[in-house]
Amino acid sequence: MKRRVEKVFSYLDVKPDAVLLANSTDPHLDQSFFHLFEVSSGLFEGSVAVAHPDGSLDVTTSPLEAESAHLAAKHDPHVKIHTVTREGPESLEVVLRKILPGTPSIGLNFPELTHAWYLRLEKLLPSAKFVDATVGVRRARQVKDASEIEKLRKAAEIGSRVGKEIPSLLKTGMTELELAAEMEYRMNKYGANGRSFSTIIGFGPHSAEPHYQPGDTKLTPGVSMVCDFGAYYHRYASDITRSFHFGPRDAELKEVHDTVEAAQQAALALLRPGVPGKVVHQAAENVINATKWKGLFTHGLGHALGLAVHDGGVGLAPNVDEVLEEGMVVTVEPGIYIAGKGGVRIEDDVVITKSGYEFLTTAPRGYLEVSA
C-alpha cells in the first residue's frame, strides 16, 4: 500500500502535509479509499484514510469492520488501523486530531467528498488549509499495478464465462428481467462478489436504448437483443456487452453487427501508449459514419475501468486529449442504435501494454443467431 500512497503525492505539484479520503454512507463511498487501503470486504461507511508523504497510511474504522481492517493491514507495517467509537476518547474526532496535530495543509478528493463531510472537517480542524488533491488521487488510480490487473482479469473472466452461456439461456416468453436475474446468478456462482452495475437487457426496440433498464418485455422470435453486464471481483469491475438475434436472421441487423465489429477493430488497431483517447474514438466513429447509419453511434467509445465501472481515468471519447499509458484498463464499445427497431453494441475490456493491448474479456464477438 505504501507505493500507492507515494504515487498520489508524486502527481501533486504542491504537496500537502497529508491527503484525507472520507467515506460518507453507501453509495457515497470514495473508491480511492479502497485504492489506498486494500480491503476486500466491508462498506467502511464514515471511515477515513489519511495518507502521508512518507507512504504511511492511517485508517479509521468502526467496530463493525475492525476485524476486516486489521486483517488487511496485518502484514503491512506502513498501515495503522484506528477503531473509533461514537463518543469518548476513541471517537473519530479525537483520533483525527491525534493523526493530524496542527497539520497546516490537507489534500482532499473534492469530487468524492460530501458537503457534510467538508463542513465537519472545517469544524474539526479549524487551523488546517484544505487544498485540492484530486489530480494526484485520480492519476494514481489510472495506471493499474499487477495486483489490480489480476483482479480485473478475474472479473472479466467471470463476465466472459456468462457471456458465452447467454445463448443457451434464451427461451421464447422469458422476460428481460428473467434473463438479467439468470446472468447475475451465474456471475455469483462463478466467483463474483456481485454485479458491477445494474444489468442491461434490452429486447427488440429496447436494444436501441444504451442505458435501458430491463422490464417485463418478453422474448419473441425475430428480435435482436443487447446484453450489457459486469461482475465485481474483490472490488474490481468488469463490463462486457454482447448482442444477439433470436430466431431467423435479420439482414439489416446482421449488417449493423458487422459494421460495429469493424468499428471496434479499427479502434483496437490504434490502442497503444501515447495515443490520445479522442483519436481512438474517431477511428471507430469514422467506420460507422461511412455507412447509412451515420450519426447513430451516440456515445463515447469507452471509459476507464477499475474499482468503479466508470473509473474516472482516461476514456475514449471525442473530447479526451489525454493519452493512453501502459497499465491503463479501458472498455472499447462501439454501437449503432436504430430507434424503433433495435441496436447492436460490442464491448470488451482491454489493458494497455507496452506495444499495444491485451483482451481481458474473451466471449465470442461475432454475429450469432440463436434458434427460437
Query: What pLDDT is stored for residue 87 in this prediction?
Result: 85
Q: Which residues sit opposite 132 in a β-bridge?
A: 108
Which of 141, 173, 207 is the C-terminal boundary of a domain?
141
Residue 89: pLDDT band with limits 50, 70, 90: confident
| 250 pLDDT higher than 80 | yes
| 1 pLDDT higher than 90 | no
Peptide bond into 27 cis (omega under 30): yes
Query: What pLDDT is stored for residue 313 in this prediction?
Result: 81
Range of the domain at 197: 146-370
Query: What pLDDT is stored for residue 147 in this prediction?
Result: 96
Which of 103, 126, 141 is the C-terminal boundary of a domain?
141
The span from the CA of 236 to the CA of 141, in Å, is 12
Q: Report the pLDDT averaged over residues 86-103.
A: 89
Q: Which residues sit opposite 243 in a β-bridge?
A: 226
CATH value at residue 178: 3.90.230.10
Strand-pair category, 231-233 with 194-195: antiparallel
Q: Are residues 120 and 25 in the same domain?
A: yes
| 312 pLDDT higher than 90 | no
CA–CA–CA angle 5, 6, 8 (5° rounding):
70
Q: Are residues 73 and 113 in the same domain?
A: yes
The span from the CA of 220 to the CA of 247, in Å, is 8
Q: Are residues 267 and 289 in the same domain?
A: yes
Q: What pTM does this model have?
A: 0.94
**CA atoms 338, 343, 346, 347: torsion sign:** positive
The span from the CA of 334 to the CA of 297, in Å, is 7
Selection from 151, 171, 152, 143 nearest residue 239 by Cα: 152
Q: Are residues 297 and 234 in the same domain?
A: yes
pLDDT 10s digits, 349-367: 999 999 999 999 999 998 8
| 70 pLDDT higher than 80 | yes
Q: Are residues 161 and 92 in the same domain?
A: no
pLDDT 10s digits, 97-118: 999 988 789 999 999 999 999 9
pLDDT 10s digits, 152-182: 999 999 999 999 999 999 999 999 999 999 9
| 120 pLDDT higher than 90 | yes
Q: Are residues 348 and 246 in the same domain?
A: yes
The span from the CA of 203 to the CA of 30, in Å, is 35
Q: Are residues 40 and 121 in the same domain?
A: yes
Selection from 285, 179, 182, 277 nearest residue 226 by Cα: 179
Query: What pLDDT is stored for residue 103 in this prediction?
Result: 77
Q: What is the dihedral of CA 367, 368, 369, 370, to 10 degrees?
A: -160
Q: Are 346 and 367 in contact (CB under 8 A)?
A: no
Residue 333: pLDDT band with limits 50, 70, 90: very high
The CA-to-CA distance between both ends of the chain, in Å, stands at: 52
Query: What pLDDT is stored for residue 339 in this prediction?
Result: 96
Supply 284's cell numbers: 471507430
CATH value at residue 29: 3.40.350.10
Q: Are residues 137 and 163 in the same domain?
A: no
Query: What pLDDT is stored for residue 372 in this prediction?
Result: 76
* Count of domains forming the chain: 2
Q: Are residues 227 and 90 in the same domain?
A: no
Strand-pair category, 223-229 with 240-246: antiparallel
Which of 106, 141, 176 is the C-terminal boundary of a domain?
141
Q: Are residues 299 and 154 in the same domain?
A: yes
Q: Report the pLDDT averaged over residues 283-287.
A: 98
**Considering the chain, what percentage of its residues have pLDDT values greater than 70?**
100
Q: Are residues 122 and 177 in the same domain?
A: no
Q: Are residues 92 and 110 in the same domain?
A: yes
